[in-house]
Structure 1
């Protein structure tokens, strides 16, 4: 799945798990193998592999074979797309809240009497 194909609800469901979130943060700093990640996280190598598979399915990480090792890397394009979507949502809420504030202020009785 490419970054353009990723559905935000699926991504957020994947990131709702603390271990997957931690893996993504960790892979954002440098690529790593599943074995190296298993040494850094308090879960089994098999659990790490399953978490990495979910992150791959959502387009958040890629895997590249290097000899006998598979190295995982966070996908910046997908993360950037998610960030842009969240900024769009936040901008909509900011506009709504500003509108509500303006309406409340215009309807409030004057205290300057």
Structure 2
């Protein structure tokens, strides 16, 4: 998921990509939630000035091509800190979507 979303170029993306091999999931946002908190191993270089929601739109469509949700990646003080799966509808997803269901664009 992170490889797909961080494949785009935006300020700080290269440093965040370098963190992918050093990140781990440390908490789930709720029982059954696919959204998770991340932790980057200590000593991994930070991405200067990157805090909050990354400037990337990662939209999720279902098998019929209808908009289903979006993936939001968060950073805190230059480190990857969370993956949030926002869904549109009544039934929450039980896991992250398959990569082929995601379209990624850098926000202008």
TM-score (norm 1): 0.29
Structure ranking higher in strand proportion: 2
TM-score (norm 2): 0.30
Structure ranking higher in helix proportion: 1
